[in-house]
Chains A and B, each alone.
Chain A
Amino acid sequence: MILTNHLPALQVVVPLLVAPLVVLMRVRGLPWAVATTTSLVAFAIAVGLTNTVLDSYSVTYEMGSWRAPYGIELHVTSFSALLLLIVTAASTLTLVAGKQSIDTEIEHDRQPLFYAAWLLALAGFTGIVVTGDAFNIFVFMEIASLASYVLIAAGSDRRVLPAVFKYLIMGTIGATFYLIGVGLIYMMTGTLNLADMEARIHEVGELRPILVAAGFITLGLILKAAIFPLHAWLPLSYTYAPHIVTAFLAACSTKVALYVLLRFDFLVFQQNLPAHEVQFTVFLMPLAVLAILIASGVAVFERNLKGLLAYSSLAQVGYILLGASLVSVPGLTAGLMHMFNHALAKGTLFLAVACLGMRFTRLGLVNLSGVARQMPWTMAAFVLAGLSLIGVPGTAGFISKWMLISAALQEGALGVALVAVIVVSSLLAVVYIWRVIELAYFGDPTEASQLANEAPAWLLVGTWVAALMNIYFGIIPSFPLSLARESAASLLQHLP
């Protein structure tokens, strides 16, 4: 069928075109219905693309029939398919489940704008993932970021404003660094097409500008991916954003930046810069280890539930990066699996937070004391996802941590040290998740938690669907695993 040939373009174009239409919809409930349907369509397209990719390795699409490398080329690989599924599934699930939560947090007359920004963010994230053009990535990155700022700034606490301002400044600096890097590469090679860049860079005798470009691009994307020590924008933004927005962004935004980072470093730079894989490891592995240890440590002392989970997110980004910085197929596979599994676990946790947010105005840990008696289903889902975050056998989190540990052990003495880091950080995760559980189940009920009753059924159903997916992919991980394996193999094909 002709339409299926255009799936890579439709993936981005559908949410992009619906977004301005949503602004005009003034009937109560309509913007939500249209945004959710669009997100569902995007998810269906992502599933369709994944099927094609699994059959035929990769899909290319020439925008407006302009031949690559002159025109913009869309390029969907198994790696992009994995990310597309994460992004569109996270968006769809949070939208379907989160209507009531959004209704309580966003006034009715601002909702059309809110949902339009949501669709723009979705279009931006999917755009970054499908495009094969370096400048196009910059444009989509900024579309996604600007929309994310708007979504986060919709939070009701005034402290969200300085937080989002900080995010805007740091996000823009990151994107501009990326742009400088792309400019330097364009200067040397005359191409913006990533596949063409791979082929052309080694024709360039003078490698200094390429080296500088690699520095700028890596640094810019590290900022966007909130890798320690450039993570300062993330915790406060996630803490004060509307709960459903946090669930959506926590599941995908940093991972999309990591996607671009891995694609550039392993496909474009790897075969062209001497000993690039060694530099990648030397530079990024310490950052990953620091992120894992410090962020987990801070999470243990955090007093706000969302802040705690945000710091835990930083640690999880560290795991993904640690897997990648091993620069081996098992390591990268583990990292990519962790992208998928962390999106599941953290998405569920933040949906459970949204459930709590329906009944509590303040989400300090002390406020939640004794809540499990009144909201048993919410807290049970929280515990389930918490176990997955810790990496208890039988949950999705276990699979990727196990793979990460076995990949690290192949690295000899260094690997043993890394395993120690992973174990220590997992124990810290036990501590911070247990703090929440202890208070919720065994703490004395506060006035607010005595008055609380179970969250609305629909939101709860969404949370439980996400929670059960943690179990499902913990027992039958073959589907994400096959995508992750194939992606890792294709990313590392240039390794000496």
Chain B
Amino acid sequence: MELLGLYNYWAFAVVLMTGLYAVITKGNLIKKLIGLSIFQSAVFLLYITMNKVDGGTAPIVQKGVTDQVFSNPLPQVLILTAIVVGISTTALGLAIVVRIKESYGTIEEHEIQNLDRDS
């Protein structure tokens, strides 16, 4: 039961590996990037899971309330930054894929390799 109670961490591991699997096995460059995004999202889940405190609410100080339990806001801030980094990476990756398509005429990995071998 204890193991099942940690279902958020199970989800993290499954999503992480799904993403990594897509990155490794897919030959289409766009699919690789999708896999990479899934891979990164898993880490967001890890951080967001750890900030939750049982019964905790948003960390806003209210007048007269002294016994309130707060969730930890720091991981949320960190992950906001990590999401921005993830978006930049995906954007740059897509830009490179566009240029690959322009100069090779394909976005399939093995076709690119064949073209390179011939030249």
Contacts and interface: CB of A to CB of B under 8 A. Distances in A.
B15 interface: no
A264 to B, nearest CB: 18
Interface string B86-119: 0011001100110110011000010011001000
B115 to A, nearest CB: 9
A85 interface: no
Contacts, number: 70
A59 to B, nearest CB: 25
Interface residues of B, number: 31
B93 A176 contact: no
A144 to B, nearest CB: 12
A179 B43 contact: yes
Interface string A172-192: 110110011001001100001
A434 interface: no
B107 to A, nearest CB: 10
Contacts of B36: 169, 172-173
B85 A161 contact: no
Contact of A162 (B47, B81, B100): B100
Given A168-B92, A172-B40, A186 B100 contact: no
Interface in B47-89: 47, 50, 75, 78, 81-82, 85, 88-89
A149 B20 contact: no
A162 B112 contact: yes
A149 B81 CA distance: 20
A150 interface: yes
A127 B43 CA distance: 23
Question: Contact size class for A?
Answer: 20 to 34
Contacts of B23: 169, 173
A168 B85 contact: no
Contact of A173 (B39, B85, B96): B39
Nearest to B82: A179
A183 B43 contact: yes
A189 B21 CA distance: 31
B43 A180 contact: yes
Contact of B92 (A149, A159, A161): A149
Contacts of B16: 180
B81 A168 contact: no
B50 A186 contact: yes
A163 B46 CA distance: 31
B85 A142 contact: yes
A164 B100 CA distance: 10
B29 interface: yes
Contacts of A138: 82, 85
22 contacts: A135-B78, A135-B81, A142-B88, A146-B88, A146-B89, A146-B92, A150-B92, A158-B104, A162-B116, A165-B97, A168-B89, A169-B23, A172-B36, A173-B20, A175-B85, A176-B43, A179-B43, A180-B16, A180-B46, A183-B43, A187-B50, A192-B78
- Closest 10 A-B residue pairs measured CB to CB? A158-B103, A187-B50, A142-B85, A161-B100, A165-B96, A172-B89, A162-B112, A183-B46, A168-B93, A183-B47
Interface of B: 16, 20, 23, 29, 32, 36, 39-40, 43, 46-47, 50, 75, 78, 81-82, 85, 88-89, 92-93, 96-97, 99-100, 103-104, 109, 112-113, 116
Interface of A: 135, 138-139, 142, 146, 149-150, 153, 158-159, 161-162, 164-165, 168-169, 172-173, 175-176, 179-180, 183, 186-187, 192
